[in-house]
A and B are shown apart, each in its own frame.
Chain A
Amino acid sequence: MLLSMNWIGDFVDLSGLDRRALIGRFTLSTAEVEEVIEKGADTCGVIVAKILSVDAHPNSGKLHLLKIDTGKEVVDCVCGAPNVRPGMKVAFAAVGASVSGNKIGKAEIAGYPSFGMCCSEAELGISADHSGLMEIEDDIPLGTDLKSVYEIDDLLFEVDNKSLTNRPDLWGHYGIAREFATLANRPLRPVPAHPTAQYDKLPALKIDVKEPDLCFRYSGITVEGIKTKKSPVNMRIRLFYCGSRAINLLADLTNYVMMELGQPMHAFDRRRVGQVEVNRFPAPFVFQTLDGAERNVDENMLMICSKGEPVAIAGVMGGLASEIEDDTDTLFLESANFNGISVRKTSSRLGLRTDASARYEKMLDPELTVPAIERFLDLLFQAAPDAKVTSRLTDVYVHKFEKITLEIDKAFVDRYTGIDISCDQIAATLTSLGFGVKRNGTAFTVDVPSWRATKDVTIKADLIEEITRIYGYDNFKITTTLSPLHPVRAEVPATDAKRIKDLLVERFSLHEVHSYIWSDSAKDKLLGIETPVNVRLINAQTPEHSSFRISMIPTLLSFAYENKGFAEAFGLYEIGHTVDGLLPDGTCNERKKLGVVLFDRTVNEETLYYRAHEMLIAIFRTLKHRSPDFVSAEPRFNWQHPVNLSEITLDGKTVGFLTTLHPSVRGKVDKKAAILAFELDMEIFSAISEKPLAYKEPSRYPGIDIDLSFSASVGALDFAAVETAARKVAGEYLKTVSLTDLYDGENGESVTLRFCFSSSEKTLARTEIQPAVDAIVAALSADFGMTLKTV
């Protein structure tokens, strides 16, 4: 929203103050100013002059040769404007003047000398009208500096509408002026008004509000005999500077009052609208708004009707059929207050946001409707003195907001602010902002003014904001708290995630990536990955991103594919969220997961497999002091390998999986690379308790290592099972079992296991452990068909 300091100056005297500094204070105390714009500074020396004569230009059909009387002299001027005529008063920039930054000099135009330029309003920068020269009123003396008659000089500033969402009172210059008055500590002047009590004897208008929940107040009045069609120049300049466009007197007046008081108004042609009903329609229909567009109005939208015919979409836009036309001289003026939520819904359903709807959405003060009419009439009678009011001011006020009174005291303010703001300052600030303040010692009874009471200021904390923002946050003394400190221990899931990241990055040189919580079915398709059916978003940007991911791996595979040129070998991981269908209560089964993908063109798949395996063991051993089990599993996704897929389990709970890629997918990611993937469910992982460290004194006696080689059938070795079986029969001296060699031969596997025996009490003799060795050999033979190889 663009705001004019001239306009604000109508209501608060800011003379002698640095206006730019005040605008800076406005940013810190009210709302952020995005831009300050100086208007008129690049135009100077433009005066009022008169065209004495108009001659055709011999060399041009469009140009004219003018004699111009500047009041001091008569000069020649070549002019191309179509509306030149002798006797016309114009804005003339003589040699030496500047017009919107262009310096005017003596010129020769099509062979004839020209000593200045007659200006259009667009050239002067005060309107968009470049259809012809600006015509100056006849009673202004020749030679008068245009700037002394018209408000060409102004200082504007722009405030983002979003930062005024909570302040319905700031949607017009008067509310802004109230802020400036408070910031500058100067009085706020009342809004000029044309009193309407004098018309109370005239007939009332028929106004029927059938939806009191949607229309809180409807005030109207009718006027006839409006001869003037064009608004005063200064009004048009202000409207133009503030981003509006001049249309005709009545439309301009409604816009002007809206931009001044924040109250939207609508001017109906009295010939079309003589009475109104505020109502909804039972069935949808098409309505043509005054911008010419056809709108699909439905049964939820509040309409203004006249004798059953719709004439406006309440609070949004009027209809084309009842708009002010060139010959309109009678007026039905609407000044109403509508439910903000209803206007917002209608406006968003129609996709039509207007200056009026933007204001109504904020819940305007219903008290504004009558002052707005009185201000409108005040301005109207200045521009059109012959106009005549033909009805009483008819006011249907169906919903009043409750009066809000708040009790606060200085202790409350001190507690919230942490600083000492004096009682005098509290009272002065609130009073200046229009609050009613009754002070009793250090306690205050505060009446919230109607323009802040629709939703903005409702509780005591709201008053804190009023007091502190005017006090200025940059004036605050800042202090630490005095709260007692307590030890804080991070929770297991957080530390688990942190330590896994550290392990993967610092020990295994993996790269952490981030991706999205949804599947990307287009990227999946590229790699031959079937995007699984899963819970979906209603309003995804593209249909490819509408389904949540179940596994982290597909995204990581896409990243691996896209990073093929980065290095011959790399590893990626992400700890992110996934959704695995719905829980029985209907909520999403959101799972936090670690996904890892290894990509390597320098080693074979088996080597990479054991590297991934090692990472998993490292994660479990480091964080939980235990090793997981790997259990063969059936693929759930088409990218998982049917053979080399294992579930990672611990205590019977599945924590995740380790897999190579199905050849159909692996080939699409890269023809030459080995690719491995594993995933852990972080919640299940974190629920596994860390095995406490149990220190065992190392034996001070030498142990005996026994290496035994066995034959076994291919793929039969289940090391964990073998170890368990051996321990079961070996007795107390067996300390560790390790794999020293594994060889796949034609006729089966050759496995060499090392059994370490030791005692903490004595040096063992070979004979003492021989029974254990024999038992192990027997057990492995019986349980796994492993036969001892004789050397």
Chain B
Amino acid sequence: MILKEKIKELRARFDAELAKAGTPDALEALRVAFLGKKGPVTDLMAELRNVEPSEKAEAGQLINTLKNELSDAIAKTGEALRAAALAAEIRRQKKYNPTLPARDAVGSYHPITLVQRELEEIFSSMGFTIEDYPEIVDDYHCFEALNIPKHHPARDMQDTYYIENGQLLKTHTSAAQNYIMKKYGAPLRAIFPGRCFRNEAIDACHENTFFQMEGIMIDENISISNLIYFMKTMLSEVFRRDIKVRLRPGFFPFVEPGFELDINCLICGGKGCPSCKNSGWLELCPCGMIHPNVLKAGGIDTDRYTGFAFGLGLTRLAMMKFGVKDIRDFNGGSLAALSQFVSE
């Protein structure tokens, strides 16, 4: 059995070479040297034709086994080399530091935007359309169309900024009522957020530039009962808890009856505290049934339709919701304050 001897000798030589092959390139050279077309295994196969026919089968098997064993050994070593290379790469890898501060990671929305969006979502979900309106308006839309004729004392309540061309800065979002009624007619449900202006000195509680959101709903048989329902539902959504509301008579020329809407004090829960002047209630928004004169000015048939309107102080709501104590923080542009309002 010279063949067996040759195989044994070849195997020993291979094992010795394999132990020395420490790189993928060396391993590849080894593979070519032993298993390639000009390698010793191929030579052995060629010698097979000199073998006695009776021994041919066994000899062939022996060579095949050797061939497979060598291939497996190479593959196994190759695997180990690759694993060692990856392990080395990982060892070389720099460890990063997730505790380092991120630069400029997030921007911020103005708190008014956050409150406004929340209200818009609530009212959109109840089928209200959202309307935009200019900030510069005329006397008719701001006053006359709202049942506030010239010399009406209600004009004193709202210190108006007048412009040299006779226009004025809108003192309330109600200034859009007439336009929206004419645009859509009845039935109608709309909210219109916007910036309003009152000519007064600025301090921690007063701003000459602030946001309101007006809402109107006009349809057949809209009632005071509906108004209370909508206000309670909306405010409970805004504050994400069940809000108690109460209505008191309030005088606004564009509604009749007109109300002041109070909510139970969010700080003391209604027991009475300095924030609510111990009354347990906070005055939140004026509202009422739209005055027939206002409906008529908007081209709405008052025999058929009634409606309610309310005016929410968005700035005030944002102060309450976020605990902002100084109203000047809203228009002051200080990022130390404003950058905190990442999102809601």
- A binding-site residues for B, Cβ under 8 Å: 27-32, 34, 162-163, 165-167, 341, 344-345, 348, 361-362, 415-419, 459, 461-462, 464-465, 468-469, 473-474, 476-483, 485-486, 488, 490-491, 493-494, 498, 501, 504-506, 508-517, 535-541, 555, 558-559, 562-563, 566-567, 569-572, 577, 579, 582, 586-588, 590
Contact = CB atoms under 8 A, between A and B. Distances in A.
B232 A559 contact: no
Contacts of A493: 132
Given A464-B256, A465-B256, A582-B165, A165 B292 contact: no
B328 to A, nearest CB: 11
Contacts of A468: 224, 257
Interface in B249-264: 249-251, 256-260
B331 A418 contact: no
Contacts of A476: 224-225, 228
Contacts of B106: 505, 509
A538 B162 contact: yes
13 contacts: A461-B289, A465-B258, A473-B246, A481-B229, A486-B127, A505-B109, A538-B164, A541-B199, A541-B202, A562-B333, A567-B335, A572-B333, A588-B167
Nearest to A455: B152
B269 interface: no
Interface string B80-117: 00000000000000000000000111111110110001
Nearest to B224: A417
A435 to B, nearest CB: 16
A6 B289 CA distance: 36
B16 interface: no
B198 to A, nearest CB: 11
Nearest to B253: A166
Q: What is the interface of chain B mostly: helix, strand, loop, or mixed?
A: mixed
Given A30-B249, A586-B165, A566 B130 contact: no
B338 A513 contact: yes
Contacts of A419: 223-225
B222 interface: yes
A474 B246 contact: yes
A480 B226 contact: yes
Top 6 nearest A-B pairs (CB, nearest first) are A418-B223, A418-B225, A465-B257, A559-B333, A473-B247, A505-B107
Contact of A514 (B112, B166, B260, B292): B112
B205 interface: no
- What band does the interface of chain B fall in when counting residues whose beta carbon is under 8 Å from A? 35 or more
Contacts of A571: 107
A454 B246 CA distance: 30
B223 A416 contact: yes
Nearest to A487: B127
B333 A539 contact: no
A481 B219 contact: yes
A162 B224 contact: no
A726 B166 CA distance: 56
B135 interface: yes
Contact of B104 (A30, A567, A582): A567
A377 to B, nearest CB: 32
B168 to A, nearest CB: 9
Interface of B: 103-110, 112-113, 117, 124, 127-132, 134-136, 138, 151, 153-154, 156-157, 161-167, 169, 187, 189, 195, 197, 199, 201-202, 208-209, 217, 219, 221-226, 228-230, 232-233, 246-251, 256-260, 277, 283, 289, 291-292, 306, 330-331, 333-336, 338-339, 343
Nearest to B112: A514
Given A459-B256, A513-B110, A539 B162 contact: yes
Contacts of B219: 481, 483
Given A165-B251, A501-B109, A505-B109, A540 B161 contact: yes
Contacts of A558: 333
Nearest to B166: A586
Contacts of A541: 199, 201-202, 208
Nearest to A493: B132
Contacts of B124: 488, 490
Contacts of B129: 488, 490
Given A473-B228, A481-B219, A512-B110, A563 B187 contact: no
Contacts of B164: 535-538
B262 to A, nearest CB: 9
A344 B153 contact: yes
- With a 10 A CB-CB cut-off, give which of A469, A494, A538, A563 has the most chain B CB atoms: A538
Contacts of B112: 514
Contacts of B105: 509
A331 to B, nearest CB: 32
- With a 10 A CB-CB cut-off, give which of B167, B189, B219, B335 has the most chain A CB atoms: B335
Nearest to B161: A537
Contacts of A515: 331, 333
Contacts of B107: 504-506, 508-512, 571
Contacts of B260: 32
Given A537-B164, A567-B104, 8 more contacts: A28-B246, A28-B247, A415-B223, A416-B306, A419-B225, A478-B225, A511-B338, A558-B333
